[in-house]
Amino acid sequence: MSQATNTSVPPAATAAAAPNASKKSKKSKDNFQLKTPKGTKDWSGKDMILRESIFNSLSSLFKRHGGVTIDTPVFELTEILTGKYGEDSKLIYNLQDQGGELASLRYDLTVPFARFVAMNNVQNIKRYHIAKVYRRDQPAMTKGRMREFYQCDFDVAGQYDTMVPDSEILAILVEGLTGLGIKEFKIKINHRKVLDGIFKVCGVKDEDVRKISSAVDKLDKSPWEAVKKEMVEEKGQTEEVAEKIGSYVKLNGSISEMAEKLGADELLLSDPSAKEGIEEMKILAEYTAAFDIHQYLSFDLSLARGLDYYTGLIYEAVTDASKAPENAQELKKKASKKGDVEDASEYVGVGSIAAGGRYDNLVNMFASATGKKNVSIPCVGISFGVERIFSLMKARNDLMDKIRSNSTQVYIMAFGDGYLSERMKIAKELWANGIECEYLYKAKAKTRPQFTGAERSGAPVAVIIGKDEVASGKVRIKKLNQGEDADEGELVDLKDVATAVKSLLTKLNAGSSVDEIAAMIKGL
């Protein structure tokens, strides 16, 4: 076949075409669009300062609750990830075969954690992990719906009394969001045992439960009629079954109210799984009241969480920005007419900003695959969606206007000879004392460029030397950006420069840049 194809082209034609093909190849190689792949972005300036502050805030929170951190590979064997995410499995990024192993980019941090626990025979651990995950999804760039994004996870693995770690995880969720200045949010919670029991008493077959759960999970984005239509036309349920399910999944309220209401439902109590779930929710109500977080919680039977591995309590945190705008379809049409297919931020919501749940069988699934029997390491965890939280915080102009793009606290200046070596020695002393400082990279530094450099750095303090200061072994420490209230600053001995600078920064309430933004966030 290949021989016939080759001989069908005259040699002269091939020779004539070769130069053109070469030119075309060279042109396509030299000319390309300089951009990041769809669903990814570069981070710099104020964005990096804000994101770093989010990481620091959550890391400190996780440590306060006894967490230890781990790291896992950015890709896992494909068989490790397969079958763990339900319908979302289609969003896994598969890699090319290398060395006989099929691998995929991690979809979340939960499945790699369960693999780690099973592989290392860990009996109990509180672990946190901050790292990137990947989704082969259609992104909406400015709403935090990305193909590459960070998750901040905290999980508890091990055998504990019912609902004790679950309630602390919810407390961590509340503390994490309020610590980031996010005050107006609601945590929707549900229980997989209750939800699965509802499906069964309504007439759903066991093999269809996960499919119906996936449909119900769309109620936060779609009206009931659309979800009902999917159940009947796509999932094979009767109108009667769908209506029965609807009578339950439209219910929500406080944990105590809902547990009491469901606990009086004889039909639902006929299912052992649902009955067990209701009893666990009654226990949870007591513990969340002890943590004083019950006011943030709503027992919402429409919450399903599409991932297959959840077995018990499930939850997600939402804000007003989580929902799509009411005129979403109209905005989507406008965007399509403009040809803007990448940025769907105008007509989609942020979605949940944190989510998680209990997954008691995932570790056992991995352990069983290696021949270990009867391994039971229950797990429960929470995942904060950093990019989605970031998009909410960045929308606060009162916050972003105050953030400086770098961490420089002190700018070292010299008048007269330049005194580069002296500036270097002062910088070395300040760096050794943990003070962020800079100076102009010029041996003969002129005055104007130094003030320009100080202004660009945003440094609140300057250390200044000149002929008189060098001769007397002193430096002048001066507050910057005072306008008409500017003064000459304070003369101090060179040996005391770090102490004097720290004292002034404390008076100005100017710690490191990350500390500053953390203080601003908490003051929102």
Among candidate residues 139, 150, 43, 147, the one with its CA nearest the CA of residue 345: 139
Q: Which residues of the chain have pLDDT under 50?
A: 1-17, 141-142, 340, 345, 347, 524
Q: What CA–CA distance (Å, rounded) separates 426 from 433?
A: 11
* Domain annotation covers residue 17: no
The enclosing domain of 123 has a CATH number of: 3.30.930.10
Same domain, 311 and 370: no
Is 36 within the bounds of a domain?
A: no
Based on the fold, state whether residues 285 and 379 are members of the same structural domain: no
Q: Is 51 annotated as a binding residue?
A: no
109 is annotated as contributing to ligand binding: yes
Whether residues 226 and 354 share a domain: the answer is: no
- Residue 403 has a pLDDT of 73
Pairwise CA distance, residues 370 & 361, whole Å: 15
Tell me, what's the pLDDT at 522?
58
Residue 134 among known ligand-binding residues: no
In one letter, which amino acid is 194?
A: V
Residues 153-190 have pLDDT tens digits of: 999 999 999 999 999 999 999 999 999 988 889 999 99
- Do 243 and 172 fall into the same domain? no
Q: Is 362 annotated as a binding residue?
A: no
Cβ atoms of 410 and 463 closer than 8 Å: yes
- The dihedral over CA atoms of 112, 116, 117, 121, expressed in degrees to the nearest 10, equals 160
135 is in an annotated binding site: yes
300 is in an annotated binding site: no
Assess whether 179 and 205 both reside in one domain. no
The annotation status of 110 as a binding-site residue, yes or no, is yes
Among residues 290, 315, 340, which one ends one of the domains? 315
* Beta pairing partners, 495: none
CATH number at residue 465: 3.40.50.800
Answer yes or no: is 35 within a domain: no
Query: Is residue 148 domain-shared with residue 226, that is, in the same domain?
Result: no
Please check if 296 is assigned to a binding site.
no
Q: Has residue 24 been placed in a domain?
A: no
Please compute Rg for the chain using Cα positions: 30
pLDDT of residue 39: 84
Query: What was the pLDDT predicted at 219?
Result: 84
Q: Considering the domain boundaries, does residue 278 fall inside one?
A: yes
* CA 376 from centre of chain: 29
Q: Tell me the residue range of the domain where 280 lies.
A: 187-315
Does an H or E element contain 68, and which? Answer: strand 68-69
226 in any annotated domain: yes
Last residue of a domain, one of 386, 405, 424: 405
351 and 481 share a domain?
Answer: no
Contact yes or no for 409/460 (Cβ under 8 A): yes
Residue 309 among known ligand-binding residues? yes
Point out the domain boundary residue: 277, 298, 315: 315
Percentage of the residues of the chain whose pLDDT score is greater than 70? 82
Q: Are residues 199 and 166 in the same domain?
A: no
Q: Are residues 414 and 508 in the same domain?
A: yes
Calculated CA dihedral for residues 327, 329, 330, 332, nearest 10 degrees: 120
Residues 191 and 285 placed together within one structural domain of the fold? yes
